Amino acid sequence: YGLTDWTFEIDDKGRPHYVVTNYKKRVGFKGSDATGAVILAVQSGDIKEYSIADAPVWVDRIQPANMVNSQLDYWGKYGDGWLNSWLGAEGVLQSTEGISLVYGNDGKSYFYTGMQSVGADEGTIGFVLVNTRTKEARLYEQAGATETAARQSGEDEFQDFGYQATYPILYNIGGVPTYFMTLKASSGLVKGA
């Protein structure tokens, strides 16, 4: 077993805690998988260990972003078998650059990342939302732009001003997945969204 990904969270009574992911290797040297959490109460110093199912309801994040991202890449690469990943590479997918934290209308937190074909341009085949607590994942097959392409598009819109776009965050606007990002001037001031 190992410990990783210290996350600061507040319980329902307003008390601060560190939630640390407890994991073990399930496949070779790289196949880490979260098994639960160790929770450290900051004020009292109490430490308790929980499985994923038994963790308190207020705990949002047990799954580390880096483990989720690498497991998505393995799923995309080997989804149609190991041999296909080397010979035909048909239907082989990879996650787009970056992963962000979003909240659903159910009040739960999710990791968001786009999925694209290996060797593809700046387009995606869809995006994935992964529950940050249980690792339940859902692929939404909807073609679109990668986060990097959306960011570049936002910067190109105001290229005369030299604004830099922040990393895009996904929102559901009228049932349409939409990237939102702010544009900052070189001084760091927000100039637009």
Q: 149-173, pLDDT tens digit by residue? A: 888 888 888 878 888 888 888 788 8
Residue 182 scores a pLDDT above 80? yes
Q: Whole-number mean pLDDT of the chain?
A: 86
Query: Looking at per-residue confidence, does 41 or 169 come out higher?
Result: 41
Confidence of residue 76 (pLDDT cuts 50, 70, 90): confident
Q: How many residues does the chain have?
A: 193
Q: With contact defined as beta carbons under 8 Å apart, do 39 and 50 qualify?
A: yes
Contacts of 78-83 with C-beta under 8 Å, sequence gap 24+, read none
Cα 6 to Cα 70: distance, rounded to the nearest angstrom: 18
Please give the Cα distance from 107 to 188 (Å, whole number). 31
- For residues 36 and 62, the answer to whether their CB atoms sit within 8 Å is yes
Provide the pLDDT confidence category of residue 187 given band limits of 50, 70 and 90. confident
Sign of CA dihedral 81, 85, 88, 92: positive
Query: What is the average pLDDT across 168-188?
Result: 84
| pLDDT-based confidence at residue 148 (cuts at 50, 70, 90) | confident
Average pLDDT over residues 136-158: 85
Give the pLDDT mean for 42-57: 96
- Residue 80's pLDDT is 64
- For range 113-121, the mean pLDDT: 78
pTM given for the model: 0.79
